[in-house]
Structure 1
Amino acid sequence: MIRLDLLREPFWLDLGMGVRLHLRPCTTALVLAARQAVRDTDMTDEPPDLVPGTRTATFLKAMGRLSILGWEGVGDADGAPVEPTPDGIDALLDLHPVADAFSLRYLGPVALLEQEKNV
């Protein structure tokens, strides 16, 4: 059964490692826009065995740029807090433990809905 109790307002998500993200809800529009970003990315220069990983990373970064409204626990090289920017979001999601936590905790519930509808 699909439950219609999905978050509709921005919310805070703890990723661990002292990082919290203020996020838009993960909606169909966000996912479709991120998928389009993957389709629009030229991967012809990528080694063929890296393309699947590059696609996944591109999708996660696009989701991050579309969904992250703010954050805590993210700083520059000197440790001073910084505001989210597209480049900063990409840099944050280049850190595999952060990208993994973002994928599991933010996109995980959406993936569960995908599984539920295919049962």
Structure 2
Amino acid sequence: MLTLDLTNEPRWHDLAPGVRVQLRPLTTALMVATRSDPAVEAVPEEASDEERAVAFAKALARRAVLAWEGIGGADGNPIDLGPEAIDALLDIWPIFETFQLTYVSKGLLLEQEKNASALSPSGPSAGATGIAKPARKRAKAAQSARTGR
């Protein structure tokens, strides 16, 4: 059963020990706006999937992060929230991974619940072609079983 959260309130997400961010709900409007973000559209066609994922995650975070705690500069003082600081935060690998797992992937879970599976865009079935040779002739029909009745 699909559970709808009708409150649409921002929530706090822990990204690392002592580091948390308050994020907007991952809505359709937020995803559509992120897809048309200039930084996402500027990613070259020849860019890898990983480069695209980083650009998308940073654009999404710039739209979604409302507040944060436990993030400071080299001097130990808290850093103000801003686009450059959000990008720098997501440049830290464990933070990026946690953001993807706790925020982005939960918003995409419905995609995985579909009945049919498409080819994996980057997995072993990507661009798969048939390698089996065609049959030379049609197979014979199976004989019906003879019973003693």
TM-score tier, shorter chain, comes to 0.7 to 0.9
Percent identity over the alignment is 45
Aligned residues: 114
Structure 2: state its 5+ residue gaps.
Answer: 116-149
Change (3 A) 1:34 1:79: same
Cα pair 1:70 1:83 within 8 Å, conserved: no
Q: CA deviation at 1:4?
A: 1.1
Compare relative contact order (CA 8 Å, sep 6+) and give the higher one, 1 or 2.
Answer: 1
Aligned partners of 2:7 and 2:107: how far apart in 1? 11
Q: Which runs of 4+ in 1 moved over 4 A?
A: none
Cα pair 1:20 1:71 within 8 Å, conserved: yes
Structure 1: state its 5+ residue gaps.
Answer: none
Q: What does residue 97 of structure 1 align with?
A: 94
The SS at the match of 1:84 is coil
Over alpha carbons, which structure has the higher Rg?
2
CA RMSD of aligned residues (A): 1.8
Aligned partners of 2:73 and 2:6: how far apart in 1? 34
Q: What does residue 51 of structure 1 align with?
A: 48
Query: In the alignment, which of 78, 95, 105 is matched to residue 108 of structure 1?
Result: 105
Please report the TM-score for the alignment, with normalisation by the length of structure 2.
0.69
Please report the TM-score for the alignment, with normalisation by the length of structure 1.
0.85
